[in-house]
A and B are shown apart, each in its own frame.
Chain A
Amino acid sequence: MEPIRVSIATDFSLTPGPRYRIEGDFSGQEFRETILKEAMENAIIGNRKLVMNLDGTAGYGTSFLEEAFGGLIREDNLSFDLINKCLEIISEEEPFLIDDVKEYLQSANVEKLKTTPKDGK
């Protein structure tokens, strides 16, 4: 099945911004709310891959990627396992970003599990 392709540089902004909308333009929050969440949900529902291309931008602030990807679990309550299954990241210019995004997802999931009340308690 054809994957869903998203490029931050062409579909969102060449200059990704800070974490929250309140902090400035092209924030991670804005990207998640306007593009990423919908694309991820479509990928999960349609059992398709979401190919996320991080290349071509002027550079990422650390919080942009954390808020965009970690926020999928923290704010939008999407499943870590399903995101992991669908998400494929391309980053040839800065390959370490692939591991960073995985780490943000992992940390958000760990935090979520800590705050979620266990069954029967």
Chain B
Amino acid sequence: MANKWYVTLFALILITAATVYCVYPYFSCNQKYADVNIAEGLIIITTIFSAYWVSTVLSNNSQHVRYQKEILIRELDESSLFLEKLAPEIQKNDINFFYVSSIPKRVRMKIKTVYQLLDKCKISAEKNIKREIYALLEDLNKLLTETPIVKSSVKTNESAEITIKENTISYNENRKRKIELKIDKIKTQVVLLKFEIIKA
């Protein structure tokens, strides 16, 4: 957006200079040492301005955007890291419940922060990815923590996909595969979001 503003200003100055040159090609000011054509003067000013603009403003701007993108990518890398650490833990039995149940929220908060920063930086990214990640995280949370309602809480089901006892969870193979699949899907969406940010 800021780039467009500078380009418009630059174009306007060039057009003004060209117009002045066409309308008053021989107009000159009386100077003591030299005759200075106004159009030429404007062209010199424009050249100086554009040289300054290209060297400082434009490069600063692009550097600024690059830093912003780096921060966003780092945030997304961290969210992927939560999932990468979780995946091998799922394979073991007796995982701590509180660790597992906190992961979906941690990832969601990272994604939320990324989208808030994207809005602040005026970088546009596909909103569908955000919706998709949120939905997948909700599914993951269910797979990680949802246990069935039992009338007598003493009852235990040996064939249950998930068993929680004394703050530790165990999953059967079927549930483990479902969780892995969901983690992979979320990671893919995070990669897509990274790609969107890089190309924006």
Contact = CB atoms under 8 A, between A and B. Distances in A.
Interface of A: 15-25, 29, 57-64, 66-67, 70, 74, 93-94, 96
6 contacts: A24-B166, A29-B153, A61-B97, A61-B146, A64-B145, A67-B149
B92 interface: no
A25 to B, nearest CB: 6
Given A23-B165, A24-B167, A93-B109, A63 B153 contact: no
A66 B147 CA distance: 10
Contact of A18 (B97, B134, B141): B97
Contact of A25 (B108, B138, B167): B167
Contacts of A94: 105, 108
A30 to B, nearest CB: 11
Contact of B141 (A19, A57, A58, A61): A61
Given A17-B97, A23-B164, A23-B165, A59 B104 contact: yes
Contacts of B102: 15, 58-59
A62 B154 CA distance: 20
Contacts, number: 77
Given A15-B98, A59-B101, A22 B153 contact: yes
Interface of B: 97-98, 101-106, 108-109, 134, 138, 141-142, 144-147, 149-150, 153-154, 164-168
Contacts of B164: 18-19, 23-24
Contact of B147 (A23, A59, A70, A74): A23
A98 B147 CA distance: 20
Nearest to B100: A61
B98 to A, nearest CB: 5
A74 B147 CA distance: 16
Contacts of B154: 22
Contact of A63 (B103, B105, B146, B167): B146
B165 A24 contact: yes
Contacts of B147: 18-20, 23, 63
